[in-house]
């Protein structure tokens, strides 16, 4: 098994701009999940996309999944200063046990007012 890897490691943008983060993984998955972590806090689940889905939306979030390339992207539109946080992708791998997730190292997003 292999953790997802996010790219870029850090992203700095102005309010109102869109932020795109990418995640690559190496094994077959049941689903891929994106989480957000504010500094010093726990992770908050944002969105889950299943292996048979290609795109999913939730408010200002748009997630895509390309299982042939083993990659996913998270797009945050019209970013706000409050979106400043670390964003992690996590994979639920085929054959893994008991809801185990494999997390990447995250993308640190900074949104400047």
Partner 1 sequence: SQTIHQWPATLVQPVGSPLSLECTVEGTSNPNLYWYRQAAGRGLQLLFYSVGIGQISSEVPQNLSASRPQDRQFILSSKKLLLSDSGFYLCAWRPGTARGEPQHFGDGTRLSIL
Write down the least CB distance from residue 16 to partner 1, Å. Answer: 28
Q: Which segments within the chain are labelled E, that is strand?
A: 5-7, 10-14, 19-24, 29-37, 43-50, 55-58, 61-66, 71-76, 85-93, 102-103, 107-112
Write down the least CB distance from residue 92 to partner 1, Å. Answer: 7
> Angle CA(101)–CA(3)–CA(87) in degrees, nearest 5?
75
Write down the least CB distance from residue 3 to partner 1, Å. Answer: 6
Phi (first) and psi of residue 68, to 5 degrees: -70, -30
- SS3 of residue 56 by DSSP: strand
Write down the least CB distance from residue 30 to partner 1, Å. Answer: 6
Q: Among residues 60, 39, 38, which one has the least CA distance to residue 47?
A: 60
Nearer to partner 1, 53 or 75 (CB): 53
Nearer to partner 1, 16 or 86 (CB): 86
Nearer to partner 1, 54 or 105 (CB): 105
By the criterion CB under 8 A, which residues form the site for partner 1? Answer: 3, 30-31, 33, 35, 40-45, 48, 50, 88, 90, 92, 97-101, 103-106
Nearer to partner 1, 50 or 80 (CB): 50
């Amino acid at each position: 098994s292999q953790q997802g890897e996010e790219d870029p490691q850090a992203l700095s943008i102005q309010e109102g701009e869109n932020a795109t983060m990418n995640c690559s993984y190496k094994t077959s998955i049941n689903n891929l999940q994106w989480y957000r972590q504010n500094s010093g806090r726990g992770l908050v689940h944002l969105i889950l996309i299943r292996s048979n889905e290609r795109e999913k939306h939730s408010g200002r979030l748009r997630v895509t999944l390309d299982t042939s390339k083993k990659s996913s992207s998270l797009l945050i539109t019209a970013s706000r200063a409050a979106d400043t946080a670390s964003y992690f992708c996590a994979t639920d791998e085929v054959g893994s046990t008991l809801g185990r997730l494999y997390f990447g190292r995250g993308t640190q997003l900074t949104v400047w007012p």
